[in-house]
Structure 1
Amino acid sequence: MSTSTQTSQSSALFADVIRERRSVRVYDKSVRLTHEEIKELLQEATLAPSSSNVQPWRFLVIETEELKAKLQPIAYNQSQVTEAAAVIAVLGDTEGYKQIGDIIGESVKRGYMTEDIAKSYVERSINVYGSMPEERLHKVLHIDGGIVSQQFMLVARAHGYDTVPMGGYDEDQFKQAFGISDRYVTIMLIALGKAAQPGHPTPRLPIDDITFFNEMPAN
């Protein structure tokens, strides 16, 4: 098979994943995923980019019936919380940058970066993140958390699973109920499982109405 044919087929498969992803709100309660299956999905999701490659995302997997029932009223009684196989809470670690030395050290081991460059990179990153205003740091965490969340939903669809992103929950109650310290910023909840009813397609704005080349319109 030629390279061009392989690329064409891969592109077609990726296009299918994008087009078939739906926000599913009714799940097959009988479907469960093992810890290894969930970790495989998350592992692929974490190939996503992040600011300075800090990878500040953290995941709390809520899968037991007892804990999903505990979460449901906090998530405004959305039925997918208890029906889905699991709910993934995506969090941002405000101290995640402190691990940059380990991350960059691995780059050195693999020959991606010299020790001199790595040392300078780590020192600069620690200084930047350590002095960053809280509002700016939280914005970075939300951006990185949003990127990994979208990648997770596409990965799940590629593996035949369904998801729905959920911003509808009481963040303070959630953190209190699940013992999440202020070190972590909540990004979103993602229900994960198999659809009992398919998510319906939704229209999108015409691309010509939302895309501007080189300058924005006057109003």
Structure 2
Amino acid sequence: MSNSQTIEKIEQQMFLDVIRERRSVRAYDPSVQISREEMTEILELATLAPSSSNLQPWRFLVIDTPELKEKLLPIAFNQQQVVEASAVIAVLGDVESYKKAEKIYGQAVEAGFMPVDTAKSFIERTVGMYSSLSPEVACQIVFTDGGLISMQLMLVARSKGYDTVPMGGYDKAKFVEAFGISERFVPVMLIAIGKAAKPGHPTTRLPIEDVAFFNEMPSIEE
């Protein structure tokens, strides 16, 4: 085996370890604080996730002060990870993300990834299409993209030695009111992040033959 093949094998194993070691952790060491610099790096890596038309509709509200975590606690049904974790990241979806199309495609031009004329065409088509979507379809798109980036964020965190838990159990209406979230932004989920005080519970998965089918779905599902 060549050196390049050996390195590739090691990198593959490291990636698989990150996937296998990720757990939903609910008990955190409150003495561990993630610096703003490292949190920013985690978020930047997460934003390499794909999104519809590359509009990147995710927005993050990072809640990391004790006062605001205490404010969030009852809204999140008193789940203790809210106050014990280094931070809680609220993943939000911008249903008007098309307003950044010019900036996004302009960056592609500056990077040499796209000709000016192509970018102009993309901007006109993207703004026209996304600005005319129904609220239901717009929300569906940002929920899909929000799910993609949330998983990527959790894997990036694990690769850096941190732990996470995705949280859908919170009062969205109260969260929006308490933190002044405008109607433009749709709450997707909360993600607690920090250093585990104790490991997350091991879980099992259904056999792959129960969930994966080739070319056609079975006629009857149990």
SS in structure 2 opposite 1:163? strand
Gaps of 5+ in 2: none
Number of the residue aligned with 2:143: 142
CA distance in 2, matches of 1:82, 1:120: 47
Cα distance in 1 for partners of 2:113, 2:196 equals 42
User: The residue matched to 1:218 in structure 2 has which SS?
Assistant: coil
Residue 205 of structure 2 aligns to a residue whose secondary structure is: coil
SS of match in other structure, 1:187: strand
**Which residue does 1:42 correspond to in 2?**
43
- Alignment correspondent of 1:180: 181
TM-score norm. by structure 1 comes to 0.98
SS at match of 2:190: strand
User: Could you say which residue in structure 2 is the equivalent of 1:63?
Assistant: 64
Residues 42-191 of structure 1: pairs in structure 2 closer than 5 A: 42-191=43-192
The residue type paired with residue 4 of structure 2 is T
Distance 1:120 1:200 in 2: 50
Mapped partners of 2:170, 2:79: distance in 1: 9
Q: Which residue of structure 1 aligns with residue 199 of structure 2?
A: 198
Compute the displacement of 1:3 (Å): 2.3
C-alpha deviation, 1:5, in angstroms: 1.7
- Where 1:68 maps in the other structure, the secondary structure is helix
- The secondary structure found in structure 2 opposite 1:142 is helix
What percentage of residue pairs aligned between the two structures are identical?
A: 59
Structure 1: give runs of 5+ residues left out of the alignment.
none
TM-score, normalization by structure 2: 0.97
Structure 1 position 111, deviation (Å): 0.9
Q: Supply the RMSD in Å over aligned alpha carbons.
A: 0.8
CA displacement at 1:205 relative to structure 2: 0.3
C-alpha displacement at 1:2, in angstroms?
2.6
Cα distance between partner residues in 2 of 1:36 and 1:110: 25
Separation (CA, whole Å) in 2 of partners of 1:75 and 1:9: 40
Moved over 4 A (4+): none
CA drift at 1:79: 0.6
Distance 1:47 1:88 in 2: 17
Query: CA–CA distance in 2 between the matches of 1:41 and 1:97?
Result: 24
Aligned to 1:91, the other structure's residue is in SS state: strand
Give the distance between the partners of 1:131 and 1:102, measured in 2 at CA: 20
Match of 1:22 in 2: 23
Q: Secondary structure at the match of 2:164?
A: strand
1:127 Cα deviation from its structure 2 partner:
0.7
Residues in 2 aligned to 1:183 and 1:98: alpha-carbon distance in whole angstroms: 11
**How many correspondences in the alignment?**
219
Q: Write out per-residue CA displacement over residues 98-142 of structure 1, whole angstroms, 9 at most, x where no aligned residue.
A: 101111111111110111111111111001101111101100000
Q: 1:116 corresponds to which letter in structure 2?
A: D
- Tell me, in whole angstroms, the C-alpha distance in 2 between the residues paired with 1:59 and 1:43: 11
